Amino acid sequence: MSDTQTHPSPRIRSSNDELVPRVLVRAVLALLLAIMSLVTISVLTDRPLESTPPQGEILTERAIFLSGDASGAALVLDANGSVLADFPADKGGFVAGIERVIARERAKSGADAAAPVLLRLRAGNRLSIYDPETNWSAELMGFGADNLRTFARLLSQP
């Protein structure tokens, strides 16, 4: 049996001293330069973002206060300070996670940590949470039906 049958020759040929073939290095470099060129052109021409969700008419809006901890427990209050929901550690993980994201964004920008956030229902049945202090927002439909339902219940409570 010949040696070429047990060890087929590689498709990209390179000398044994090279760890990565020159062709591959050049291809990666060309790809990086193309990406950098596209990003530079996009920034210099102020091209608008295209992947943002549509901003329809606000049908319902409610100011809420969120508080949570690392265990997953979360407390949601309305604008008057009444308790809308008190989630135990095994049920409030998503709400507590949203609260941590908002707290981090507010800490980065030096915004008021005690300000309310807005829960909004837009045309097309799109539910979102919006922080007017930092302009941070999240479309809640992207986090699954159960998490969406959790916030939808907060919006519909008296």
pLDDT tens for 58-84 read 888 888 888 888 888 888 888 888 888
Beta strand residue intervals within the chain, DSSP E: 58-68, 74-78, 83-87, 117-122, 126-131, 136-139
CB 141 within 8 A of CB 148: yes
Domains of the chain: which residue ranges? 3-44, 58-156
Backbone angles phi, psi at 132, to 5 degrees: -70, -20
The reported pTM is: 0.62
What is the distance between the alpha carbons of residues 91 and 66, in angstroms, rounded to a whole number?
Answer: 15
Residue with tokens 């045309």: 123
pLDDT of residue 127 exceeding 80: yes
Q: Which of 19-28, 38-47, 49-58, 110-119 has the lowest mean pLDDT?
A: 49-58
CB 64 within 8 A of CB 77: yes
